[in-house]
Amino acid sequence: MAICDALALAWEPLAALTALQDVGFHSATKLDSGELLVVGGATVDMGLFNGFPHAASEYDEETNVWTPLDAPTHSYALHTATKLRDGRVLVAGGLLGSMAELFDPVAKTWQATDPLPRAIMSATATLLNDGRVLHVGGVYSTGTAFTAHEVLLYDVEQGTWETLPDVGQDLPKSRFGHTATLLDDDKDDEEDDNEADDNVFVVGGAEITGSNLLIDAPTKSAALFDPVDETWTAVTPMNIARAFHTATRLSDGRILVAGGGVPKKLGPEGSSVIGIVTWGNVYSSAEIYDPVTNTWTLAGNMNEPRAEHQAVLLENGRVLVAGGKRDSSGRMLASAEIFDPVKMTWTTTSHMQTPRFGHSLALLDRGVVATGGILAFSGINRPPERYPQAPDGTFCTFDDQCKSTHCVDGVCCDSACSSPCLACKKTEKNNKALDDGICEDVSGCTPFACNVDNGLCGTSCATIEECASGHVCDPTGTCIRPLENASIIDDSSCAASLPQSNAPPWPGLTVVACLFAWRRQRSARKDQRKS
């Protein structure tokens, strides 16, 4: 289902990126410090790459400042960039060569490491839970272009690449324009010993097997890589063959695949030189893969067809999709939309301030930052911008501004806080000062409970549910604090649990016994009167 959100959250401009502002096909990597590392990229003219800025910059979200860094030894575009478990970033390959380097975010320095076996662009590089990096597919050039069949593993400790044996039919087709997604990247979860969660899910993409840079029809095939056995297993294919889609791991472990389509050529029509992709059909459809059941479920259609777009999982569990190409004419998109995996709906949100493809999206603490990108067939200034996602306690006007998706009393709140008994904004209400962003009871009804429907306070009780938290209902219909080391039976004959202590239980048991004895005696006297 497609929905339009009339209260869409506006993207906000950020500080200029200087040397890397008008590039696309760069990399943007969130560092452990929370800063954003942007490396390389390319400029484009008439569909062909015509410049490769030799630069790197780091963005500080707190100060909204970009800091130029020492450039890597080589220029990079259409490369991979992978943050390792020790915090360093591995930058490798791309259109310009097989080189690879490591960026140290503490020392702000670059160090050469083992190169790829050849120059490979548009590959995927996925950090495994064991710390290695899986490098799959891509395109290499020997006068013309071909898709790479190699699957590589980078050993961080050794600083070397290993080429795995031919994958055969288990990973059908060498490919580019595919996606590779780790099924579970919670490497610190000691309770999770499911080795299947360490697998990498590779799906879609297309091949270049002939001349003239023509791209073969995309594939719907999917496969899982097991890093323990270093083997591939084919799994249920997608419903629709597609390339240059996005694949986003949802909070529940399923994979959302969205958009993409049928690419025609790796370069403009009539050219024999590698350039940006020209398109046939572009899709709006989406589907979800469940690795537990090995099944696909259709997930509706986006509001616009899009390929070569970007997607990011928000902290609230929804997915933001932005930019890309819309159709075979090469029309660029500034539009963005959000997928809700609970409601299975796509909702339009505000447009980016500029159309983009070949851009990046990165989730930082204060929202999603878009950098770079290309417009149509020529490069043009693309200043960074941010889709805000405010933390609890931040002022807001509607839900989508908040990470929690709850805008209550004018602030982002940790829950829906929808009862009239509750409030979320720091204010004096019934003599109670609140912390912004934390939903609390402000009814002033204690010791009685507040009616969640109308906000009125109770005046008597029949059960413990009619008392405020920490209180119980006594036989007279009054809510009271429980007696220390004792139990009280309310008039519904339900026992109220009381604070535990190291004192012996005999006093409490005595009280309970007395209450039962009193009730039994009263019942006996009533029986005597009747007789």
Q: Looking at residue 141, what is its pLDDT?
A: 82
Residue percentage of the chain with pLDDT more than 90: 63
Q: What is the mean pLDDT of the chain?
A: 86
40 with 26: CB under 8 angstroms? yes
What's the average model confidence in pLDDT over 416-430?
Answer: 76
Q: Looking at residue 188, what is its pLDDT?
A: 52
Q: Element (H or E) spanning 281, and its range?
A: strand 277-282
Q: Looking at residue 409, what is its pLDDT?
A: 83
Flag whether pLDDT at 457 surpasses 70.
yes
DSSP 493: S
Q: Looking at residue 308, what is its pLDDT?
A: 98
| pTM of the full structure | 0.81
Coil, strand or helix: which one is 429?
Answer: strand
Q: Give the span between the Cα atoms of 347 and 349, in whole angstroms.
A: 6
Flag whether pLDDT at 490 surpasses 60.
no
- CA dihedral sign, ordered 451, 454, 458, 463: negative
Low-confidence winner among 77-81, 150-154, 250-254, 487-491 (lowest mean pLDDT): 487-491
Q: Give the span between the Cα atoms of 308 and 259, in whole angstroms.
A: 9
Q: Looking at residue 14, what is its pLDDT?
A: 95
DSSP 524: H
CA angle 142/145/149 to nearest 5° reads 90
DSSP 195: G
Q: Which amino acid is at 80?
A: T
8 with 335: CB under 8 angstroms? no
* Of 270 and 361, the one with more pLDDT: 361
75 with 54: CB under 8 angstroms? yes
Domain annotation for the chain: domains and CATH numbers: 2-389 (2.120.10.80), 390-442 (no CATH), 446-530 (no CATH)
* Of 139 and 190, the one with more pLDDT: 139
